[in-house]
């Protein structure tokens, strides 16, 4: 009886050992993948430095490229390492959460734009009172969240807010109203 238990124990240990070696031998290094997202909070070119600094605090995510003109970033990460047990359709939400957490929500991400650029209209709104980076961020946030705003910028140096909009969803008047509600003095073009 003892001999049978020892034999079973030895067989079990051998089986586990063989299985472990099989799994390790079959294990491949996880592969990095690249994803391109629309970035929120990129209201002026100098914000690229802030974004780069933020990504240094996210060791599992690498900022590969920033496209200010299209308000897009390309990020590289190993999905299984950065987001274990997360479905691919949830990656964007998780990247957004991580980026917002290290930037106090001044940056975020969304899926890439689906409306063709030639279907969008650029709107420029003269604005006074944008005398610092925080004021520009507030003006940007006032319009960037409006449905139909695909991209926005705010410049205190130039005294204007610009937006790339889907004219089937919003218009300049809605943007101006949102800015006035934030206390931004909107001028006439």
Q: Which residues contact 109 (CB under 8 A, 6 or more apart)?
A: 37, 38, 39, 40, 73, 92, 95, 96, 99
33-110 and 117-186 agree in CATH topology: yes
Q: pLDDT digits over 67-90, tens only?
A: 998 899 999 999 999 999 999 999
The pair of structure tokens assigned to 45 is 């070119």
Q: Which residues contact 148 (CB under 8 A, 6 or more apart)?
A: 165, 166, 167, 168, 169, 170
10 Å Cβ neighbour count for 64?
15
Domain map (residue ranges) of the chain: 33-110, 117-186
Does domain 33-110 match CATH 3.40.50.2300? no
Whole-prediction pTM: 0.75
Q: List alpha helices for the chain, DSSP H.
A: 2-26, 47-55, 79-82, 91-103, 133-144, 172-181
- Angle made by CA atoms 13, 16, 18, in degrees to the nearest 5: 105
Residues in the chain: 189
Q: What pLDDT is recorded for position 28? A: 65
Note the CATH number of domain 117-186.
3.30.70.100
Q: What pLDDT is recorded for position 9? A: 53
Q: What pLDDT is recorded for position 23? A: 45
Divide the 189 residues of the chain into consecutive groups of 10 and give the mean pLDDT of each group: 50 49 55 94 92 96 94 95 94 96 95 90 89 85 92 88 95 95 81
């Amino acid at each position: 009886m003892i001999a049978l238990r020892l034999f079973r124990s030895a067989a079990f240990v051998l089986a586990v050992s063989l299985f472990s070696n099989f799994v390790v031998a079959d294990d491949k290094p996880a592969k990095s993948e690249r994803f391109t997202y629309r970035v929120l909070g990129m209201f002026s070119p100098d914000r690229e430095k802030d974004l780069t600094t933020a990504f240094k605090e996210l060791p599992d995510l690498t900022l590969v490229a920033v496209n200010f003109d299209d308000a897009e970033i390309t990020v590289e990460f190993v999905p299984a390492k950065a987001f274990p047990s997360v479905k691919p359709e949830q990656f964007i939400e998780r990247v957004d959460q991580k980026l917002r957490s290290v930037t106090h929500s001044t940056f975020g991400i969304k899926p890439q734009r689906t409306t063709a650029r030639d279907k969008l209209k650029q709107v420029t709104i003269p604005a006074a009172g944008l005398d610092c980076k925080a004021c520009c961020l507030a003006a940007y946030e006032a319009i960037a969240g409006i449905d139909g705003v695909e991209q926005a910028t705010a410049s205190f140096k130039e005294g204007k807010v610009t937006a790339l909009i889907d004219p089937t969803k919003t218009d300049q008047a809605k943007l101006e109203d949102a800015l006035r509600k934030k206390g931004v003095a909107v001028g006439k073009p």
